[in-house]
């Protein structure tokens, strides 16, 4: 997953969370929490990508031996 794709997913999360909170009357809380959540989503997706790459690398090394 590219940085652009991760950014789009994180932005979608932030927007959805902010809109949902605004519907319930908590606009500022929704914006702040959505931004923090978007950052967390972006970082988690990056970490998952790193983990999957490391697993694939270890599998290639094991099969090459």
Q: Is the pLDDT of residue 64 over 80?
A: no
Mean pLDDT in residue range 1-28: 92
Q: Is the pLDDT of residue 16 over 90?
A: yes
3-state secondary structure of 1: coil
Residue 63's pLDDT band (boundaries 50, 70, 90)? confident
Sign, CA torsion 52/56/61/65: positive
Nearest alpha-carbon partner for 56 in 64, 9, 6: 64
């Amino acid at each position: 997953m590219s940085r652009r794709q991760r950014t789009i997913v994180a932005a979608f999360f932030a927007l959805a969370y902010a809109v949902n909170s605004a519907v319930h009357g908590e606009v500022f809380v929704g914006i702040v929490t959505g931004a923090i959540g978007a950052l967390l989503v972006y970082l988690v997706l990056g970490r998952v990508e790193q983990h999957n790459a490391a697993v694939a690398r270890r599998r290639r090394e094991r099969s090459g031996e």
